[in-house]
């Protein structure tokens, strides 16, 4: 090879990376340029040249591919012209066929020759695009489906609840008098707080019931109904109680009425009794159209706090009456408290029922303290009547209204899901808003991690979110099934507790079907705590039973000079049946006499009789303890727990 | 008479491979040979021939080469690859069996059942 044939400098320039990149970019920018150049230099008649140009241009192939096809078609055309001069360029051009068809065939076949890496990338891109298109189309369908769906709110549950009170006139409703007593308490609290530094005022919706905090020693007002004669301001407190006696009398009379009489509504007005200091949230009549109402979860029960306060004041007056030797007044006040508890047991909403049990516990505790401190205050007749009141009002107070809870989920579902006419349906935008509301309540309660539920995002996130949420029928079925277990567990008889014990049917179903299944987020928010309610009821059964036994034992003691050694000595003359020990199903509560005093006790969480010895630390009767006990009936699941190693002392009352 | 499209799709590639088994040929030459040697039965326009050649090339059955022919013109010659020879052999066997089967049914003229 001579030097003139190969010039390294020229070769280097021609093959330099910069020029190669330049050529690549030029080919990218003008992919048809080389084909045009070849055609221009081909010398073919215009007809043929234009036809080939048109075909190659339509292939939209890479620059070098177009050039290759162009060269081949030019060669073919030259041969055709050269070998058959009689044929016109038009005839030869017609051999090329339909421009669009031949371009498409050429394009397909040439692309098959491209490198496998390009083929792989091309196929992948095609697949990705196909998937994307499919997803976008699916989302579009879901978007339209979700955003055009709406719930069918047909049942007015608030009206149904209010119908219960429709038959009662105002003289048969207890709440006005209870509210008056609460108001008297609040005014006195405000007066006493006048010389103290006020705590920050509670936000709207928060309870105002508790007195303002004070770093000083608790006053008689603050410690009621357990106040001692030596408490600060005791005489002033007694004088105040005397001053509100008419109000107490009216509250006492009201507690015997057939209904509390509260208006159930999702709307209320704030009425300032004392500006910036005392106010009442008074329910306003709900809209007659259920579509204009909030769900039942949003129904306000502002009187629950009033009732608890009124019960405490009534109990305090019973204690003062006992100290004054006024058995009749003490009995009437205590009876009123127990009746108030019974009234709350008849209310819809579990929260009302729980407040009733709390009021009952305060009343029972006060009664036992009075009989303990003043054993001769009540006559046998008084004691017998109080025992009957305890039993009869407990039958009302121990009621847990699961029916209203079922109503609540039905209302939530009708407001959040579509209705296909057969009880099923799917999530709607309104349902998303409900989830948002439940997951992040404004004023209270825990927040739940629902990352996709955000304000304003419902129309866009909802179509996908809907796919991850169980249907209306599934929600209903699971909710009712779990509620039935809790309902059964609350039935009389401690052995029924097994249904809600740790590891029991409720626990297993909740863990596997609610907590571990994100489709039931709604129930995860609405259900927690339901399984603990039955334990509260069984504990109140035990407290009531113990209170009745304590009163009956006093009668027995008066008659015989002895405390009974076992409850069976009181049955059936003084108590109809021996109350069951919830921690020892099938067996009665136990009695013991120590230093001349009667002790009524349960064996407690550990299930064994510690001879009326309370645990060294803590308590052994929490609802959770009761549930733990039932985790293994017949065994002692937490025998080595120092907190549970002891008995639950039900009488005498302890602080 | 031209073959129907489906028949052409089966016979065309075998015919092209067969022509290329004797010597490398370029597009126009192949088109002429197919038209003349089959009395036009397997005649193909450029819109059929070139996509077919590119497909055979993509499958590795033939390979192209630009070179000058006897006339001095530069043309793209196609020749059979080893893979193409194997494929042709298989195709011919299939066609033989097909022809035999059709003949045994009396479908082909002059054949006996």
CA distance B75 to chain A (A): 6
Look at residues A273, A270, A272, A306 and name the one whose alpha carbon lies nearest to residue A182. A306
More confident residue, A136 or A518: A136
CB-CB contact of B15 with B34 (8 Å): yes
Per-residue pLDDT tens over the stretch A349-379 = 999 999 999 999 999 999 999 999 999 999 9
Contact B47 A97 (CB under 8 A): yes
Q: Nearest 5°: phi and psi at A174?
A: -85, -25
Phi, psi for residue A331 in degrees, rounded to 5:
-65, -45
pLDDT in tens, A220-262: 888 899 898 888 899 999 999 999 999 999 999 999 999 999 9
Write down the pLDDT at residue A625. 66
C-alpha–C-alpha distance, residues B49 and B20, integer Å: 13
Using CA atoms, how far residue A247 sits from A13, A147, A176, A266, A324, in Å, is 110, 56, 11, 29, 19
Q: How does DSSP classify residue A198?
A: P
Contact B75, B85 (CB under 8 A): no
Query: Is the model's pLDDT at A442 over the cut of 60?
Result: no
CA distance A316 to A227: 8
| ipTM value | 0.91
Under 8 Å CB-to-CB from A523, ≥6 apart: which residues? A475, A478, A479, A482, A514
Torsion, CA A315, CA A320, CA A321, CA A322, rounded to 10: 90
The answer to whether the CB atoms of B74 and A71 lie below 8 A apart is: yes
- pLDDT at position A55 over 90: yes
In A498-532, alpha helices (H): 505-509, 521-526
Q: Residues of B with CB below 8 A from A73's CB?
A: 46, 50
Mean pLDDT, rounded, of chain A: 87
- Check CB contact of A633 with chain B, cutoff 8 Å: no
For A418: left if phi > 0, alpha if psi spans -120 to 50, otherwise beta; the answer is beta
| A210: pLDDT strictly greater than 90 | no
3-state secondary structure chain B: CCCCHHHHHHHHHHHHHHHHHHCCEEHHHHHHHHHHHCCCCCCCCHHHHHHHHHHHHHCCCEEEEEEECCCCCEEEEEEECHHHHHHHHHHHHHHHHHHHHHHHCCCCCCCCC
Report d(CA A619, CA A266) in Å as an integer: 39
pLDDT of A446 higher than 90: no
Tens-digit pLDDT profile for residues A578-609: 999 988 888 999 999 999 999 999 988 778 89
Q: Is the dihedral of CA A83, A84, A85, A90 positive or negative?
A: negative
Six-digit token pair at A432?
A: 């998303």
- The confidence score (pLDDT) of residue A1 equals 42
Mean pLDDT of A446-458: 59
Q: A281 vs A250, A266, A438, CA distance in Å?
A: 22, 11, 22
Residue A451: its pLDDT value, please?
54
Checking if the pLDDT of A292 tops 80, the result is yes
Whether A58 and chain B come into contact, CB under 8 Å, resolves to no
The H-assigned helical ranges of A258-302 are none
Burial label, A282 (beta-carbon count in 10 A; 0-12, 13-18, 19+):
middle
Indicate yes or no: CB of B76 within 8 angstroms of CB of A75: yes
pTM comes to: 0.74
Select from B6, B8, B92 the least CA-distant residue to B44: B8
Residues 6+ apart with CB under 8 A from A354: A533, A536
What are the C-alpha distances in Å from B1 to residues A566, B34, B39? 118, 13, 8
Residue pairs spanning A and B at CB distance below 8 A: 65
What pLDDT is attached to residue A195?
47
Q: What is the Cα–Cα distance from A159 to A407, expressed in whole angstroms?
A: 12
Q: Is pLDDT above 80 for A443?
A: no
pLDDT band at A198 (very low <50, low <70, confident <90, very high): very low
User: What distance in Å separates the CA atoms of residue A387 and residue A501, rounded to the nearest whole number?
Assistant: 31
pLDDT number for residue A605? 79
For residue A355, give both structure tokens.
């407040």
Contact A101 B47 (CB under 8 A): yes
Tell me whether residues B55 and A69 touch, CB distance under 8 A.
no
Burial of A559 (0-12, 13-18, 19+ CB in 10 A): exposed
Question: On the CB side of A466, how many CA atoms lie within 13 Å of its CA?
Answer: 27
* CB within 8 Å of B14: residues ≥ 6 apart: B88, B91, B92, B95
Between β-strands A590-594 and A597-602, what pairing exists: parallel, antiparallel or unpaired? Answer: antiparallel
DSSP H/E element including A474? helix A472-489
Are residues B45 and A98, on separate chains, in Cβ contact within 8 Å?
Answer: no
Task: Give me B8's structure tokens.
Answer: 């052409």
Residue A203 CB contacts under 8 Å (≥ 6 apart), including other chains: A443
Which chain A residues have a beta carbon less than 8 Å from that of B28?
Answer: 75-76, 79-80, 83
Query: CA A643 to CA A615: how far, in whole Å?
Result: 6
- Residue B52 CA to residue B34 CA, distance in Å, equals 13
The beta-carbon neighbor of B58 closest among A72, A73, A109 is: A109
Distance CA A287, CA A302 (A): 19
DSSP A211: P
């Amino acid at each position: 090879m001579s030097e003139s044939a190969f010039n390294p400098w020229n070769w280097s320039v021609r093959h330099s990376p910069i020029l190669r990149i330049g050529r690549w970019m030029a080919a990218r920018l003008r992919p048809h340029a080389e084909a045009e150049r070849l055609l221009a230099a081909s010398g073919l008649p215009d007809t043929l040249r234009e036809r080939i140009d048109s075909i190659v241009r339509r292939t939209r192939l890479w620059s070098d591919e177009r050039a290759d096809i162009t060269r081949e078609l030019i060669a073919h055309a030259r041969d055709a012209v050269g070998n058959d001069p009689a044929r016109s360029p038009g005839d030869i051009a017609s051999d090329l066929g339909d421009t669009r068809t031949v371009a498409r065939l050429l394009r397909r076949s040439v692309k098959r020759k491209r490198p496998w890496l390009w083929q792989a990338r091309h196929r992948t891109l095609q697949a990705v695009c196909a998937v994307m298109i499919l997803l976008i189309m699916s989302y579009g369908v879901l978007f339209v489906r979700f955003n055009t769906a709406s719930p069918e709110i047909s049942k007015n549950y608030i009206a149904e609840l209010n119908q219960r009170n429709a038959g009662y006139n105002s003289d048969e409703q207890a709440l006005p008098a209870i509210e008056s007593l609460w108001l008297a308490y609040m005014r006195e609290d405000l007066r006493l707080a006048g010389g103290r530094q006020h705590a920050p005022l509670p936000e709207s919706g928060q309870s105002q019931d508790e007195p303002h905090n004070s770093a000083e020693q608790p006053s008689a007002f603050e410690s009621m109904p357990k106040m001692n004669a030596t408490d600060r301001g005791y005489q002033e407190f007694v004088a105040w109680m005397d001053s509100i006696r008419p109000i107490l009398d009216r509250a006492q009379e009201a507690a015997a009425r057939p209904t509390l009489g509260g208006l159930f509504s999702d709307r209320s007005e704030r009425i300032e009794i004392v500006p910036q200091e005392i106010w009442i949230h008074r329910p306003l009549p709900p809209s007659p159209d259920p579509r204009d109402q909030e769900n039942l979860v949003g129904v306000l029960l502002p009187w629950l706090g009033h009732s608890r306060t009124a019960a405490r004041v009534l109990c305090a007056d019973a204690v003062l009456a006992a100290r004054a030797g006024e058995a009749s007044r003490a009995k009437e006040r205590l009876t009123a408290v127990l009746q108030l508890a019974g009234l709350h047991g008849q209310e819809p909403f579990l929260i009302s029922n729980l407040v009733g049990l709390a009021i009952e516990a305060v009343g029972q505790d006060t009664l036992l303290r009075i009989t303990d401190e003043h054993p001769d205050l009540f006559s046998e007749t008084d004691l017998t009547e109080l025992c009957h009141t305890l039993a009869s009002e407990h039958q009302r107070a121990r009621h847990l209204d699961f029916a209203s809870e079922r109503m609540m989920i039905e209302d939530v579902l009708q407001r959040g899901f579509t209705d296909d006419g057969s009880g099923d349906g799917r999530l709607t935008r309104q349902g998303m808003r409900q989830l948002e509301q439940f997951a992040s309540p404004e004023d209270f309660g825990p927040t739940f991690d629902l990352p996709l539920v955000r304000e304003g995002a419902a129309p866009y996130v909802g179509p996908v979110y809907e796919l991850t949420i169980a249907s209306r029928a599934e929600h209903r079925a699971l909710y009712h099934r779990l509620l039935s277990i809790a309902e059964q567990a609350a039935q009389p008889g401690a052995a029924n507790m097994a249904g809600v014990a740790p590891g029991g049917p409720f626990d297993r179903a909740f863990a596997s079907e609610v907590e571990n299944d994100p489709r039931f987020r709604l129930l995860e928010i609405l259900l927690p705590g339901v399984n603990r309610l039955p334990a509260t009821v069984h504990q109140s059964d035990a407290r009531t039973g113990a209170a009745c036994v304590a009163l009956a034992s006093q009668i027995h003691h008066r008659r015989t000079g002895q405390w009974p050694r076992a409850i069976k000595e009181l049955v059936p003359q003084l108590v109809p049946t021996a109350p069951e020990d919830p921690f020892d199903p099938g067996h009665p509560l136990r009695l013991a006499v120590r230093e001349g005093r009667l002790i009524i006790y349960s064996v407690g969480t550990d299930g064994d009789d510690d001879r009326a010895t309370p645990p060294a630390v803590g308590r052994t009767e929490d609802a959770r303890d009761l549930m733990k006990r039932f985790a293994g009936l017949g065994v002692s699941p937490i025998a080595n727990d120092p907190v549970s190693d002891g008995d639950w002392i039900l009488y005498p009352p302890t602080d | 008479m031209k073959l129907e499209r489906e028949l052409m799709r089966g016979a065309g590639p075998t015919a092209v491979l067969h022509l290329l088994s004797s010597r490398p040929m370029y597009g126009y030459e192949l088109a002429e040979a197919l038209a003349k040697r089959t009395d036009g039965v397997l005649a193909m326009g450029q819109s059929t021939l070139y996509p077919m050649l590119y497909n055979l090339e993509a499958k590795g059955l033939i390979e192209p080469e630009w070179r000058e022919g006897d006339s001095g013109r530069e043309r793209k010659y196609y020749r059979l690859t080893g893979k193409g020879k194997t494929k042709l052999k298989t195709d011919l066997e299939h066609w033989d069996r097909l022809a035999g089967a059709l003949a045994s049914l009396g479908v082909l003229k002059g054949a006996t059942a």
